[in-house]
Structure 1
Amino acid sequence: MKVSIVTVVFNSVSVIEETILSVIYQKNASLEYIVIDGNSTDGTQNIISKYIHHINVFISEPDKGIFDAMNKSLKYVTGEYVIFLNAGDKFVNNHVLSDVFQNYNFDDELIYGDTYFENELGFILQKSNAIYVHNPTKKDLIFKSQGFCHQSLFTKASRLKEILFNLDYPIGADYDTTARIYFTGNRKIRYVKQAISVFDDRFGGASHNKIGVVL
């Protein structure tokens, strides 16, 4: 069973290498790696070129923001599930994919785990608790977190290709998309009870820096 990993990047020369290495060092896993660059000019492409033989698809061109780039990547995704591990983010260890999918015999459209947040003070573990399994009200869906990070979410690729990310939500399109997949699909969501990724919050994510608006 193949998993697609997508990295969206723009002018991230200081962090892109650790993201790439965390993907290509995954052991005992069937995967494809797709990198979508927003036409970086700071040397990011030079780093990517060092590992180009490990990358199945590499696209570098201007786009309309992070979610536009994520939508673009779906044209090339051929795995059963897809996860977005963007520049600076990384898998928590080199066997997380094989741990999650080694006994794959389920049809959940959403599979999620915990996340470590990395900031200037170190690492903080955030346990996940999906809002969807608690019969949320419309108010809950608007005002509460979905309970996990997209860096630790594997989504059934076929469903994501149907739904896509809504570019009208430059910051919260991932939340909107996950909710639409859950409520219009088979409503099967699996918590794997382990950390999946390390979210790079050292410089602030898209919601802090508004990099989702224009890349």
Structure 2
Amino acid sequence: MTSFSIVTIVYNDVTHIKETMESVINQSYKNIEYILVDGKSNDGTKEAILELITSCATITLEDQKEDRFYLEATHNTYPTLTFKFLSEKDKGIYDAMNKGIALTTKEWINFMNCGDRFYNLNVIREISKDNIKKYDVIYGDTEIIYNSQNKKIIKKTTNPKYRMPFSHQSVFTKTQIQKLHPFDLSFKICSDNDFFTKIYNNKKVFHKIPIVIASCLSGGISSVSTFRYIYEEYKIGLKYNKFFIFYFIPTLATELLKFIVKKILPNCFLHSIQARYNAK
């Protein structure tokens, strides 16, 4: 029976954490290790996580120190659905994701961070039906939510030699590969892109399945830090492919145009344009 580790990282987002957690806990496929990594939130997020875990699971291990809280739990009805919850300060998004990687024990890993969710409750069941053992990375499409009126299924077509052709929420990676290559903390925005570009160029096998895997809110960190994002994309591209510059020039022009449009257009028009033309 194929097993999955789902990792959610969060810091001070009590508004969205329950929705993200429920999209994992309520999956129809139950062979899941659910790992939550909190950056020591102070807005009630930690308490909300504990409340939801203890409402459906029995705590099997708890360790509380001044600067660190950790517990493990098993679902009351489905013993193959287990929880690990770590709350402590971290050095940023990718440090928190690396903490999650260190806790994983299942065959496949996915990052469904706070604010994002699985597209429906049968996503993992659909993935488990496929003959996935021969692949190293499995990915699908992503629904981007701009607002309650504007949603768009994004089907990326970028060349994985240069740029990952998926959103990180919509990809499952063999855990043993992820553990061998933790995220590079020198990248603040694009370390996931660095990881996937690296393993693709190391001949790992990528496979797309024809389903929508995740629903994500628009406006992630790569959206709000445009110039840092462009710089890191350029650095990663050259790191793995000397011909990246020929790919990067039109990409740079596109990203700069997006930045200018964001600055001059009202949000209502911007959301409509994003929903129609977004390519990342």
Indicate how the Cα distance of structure 1 residues 170 and 105 shifts in structure 2: closer, same or farther if over 3 A, else same. closer
TM-score (norm 2): 0.67
Cα distance, 1:122 vs structure 2: 2.8
C-alpha distance in 1, partners of 2:170/2:107?
16
Determine the C-alpha separation between the residues in 2 that align with 1:146 and 1:116.
Answer: 16
Report the more deviating stretch, 94-103 or 164-173.
Answer: 94-103
Q: Does the residue aligned with 1:14 lie in a helix, a strand or coil?
A: helix
Residue in 2 that maps onto 1:20: 21
Distance 1:195 1:151 in 2: 11
* Worse overlay, 27-36 or 100-109: 100-109
Task: Tell me the residue number matched to 1:6.
Answer: 7
Q: Pick one of 85, 88, 94 that aligns with 1:61.
A: 88
Q: Deviation of residue 130 (structure 1)?
A: 5.2
Partner of 1:213: none
TM-score normalised by the chain length of structure 1: 0.87
Structure with higher Rg: it is 2
In structure 2, what is the equivalent of residue 176 of structure 1? 194
Partner residue of 2:151? 123
Structure 1: runs of 5 or more not aligned: 211-215
Looking at structure 1, the residues matched to 7 and 42 of structure 2 have their Cα atoms a distance apart, in angstroms, of 20
Number of residue pairs aligned between Structure 1 and Structure 2:
198
Is it true that 1:164 corresponds to 2:191 in the alignment? no
Instruction: Determine if contact 1:160/1:181 at 8 Å carries over to the other structure.
Output: no
Q: 1:36 to 1:209 in 2, by over 3 A?
A: farther
1:31 aligns with 2:32: yes
Q: Which region of structure 1 is more displaced relative to structure 2, 121-130 or 110-119?
A: 121-130
CA offsets, 1:171-192, max 9 Å, x none? 00000001112222x4311100
Where does structure 2 lack aligned partners over 5 or more consecutive residues?
Answer: 58-74, 76-81, 226-280
CA drift at 1:29:
3.7
Structure 1 contact 163–180 (Cα < 8 Å) conserved: no
Q: Distance in 2 between matches of 1:119 and 1:40?
A: 26
Name the SS for the 2:102 alignment partner.
coil
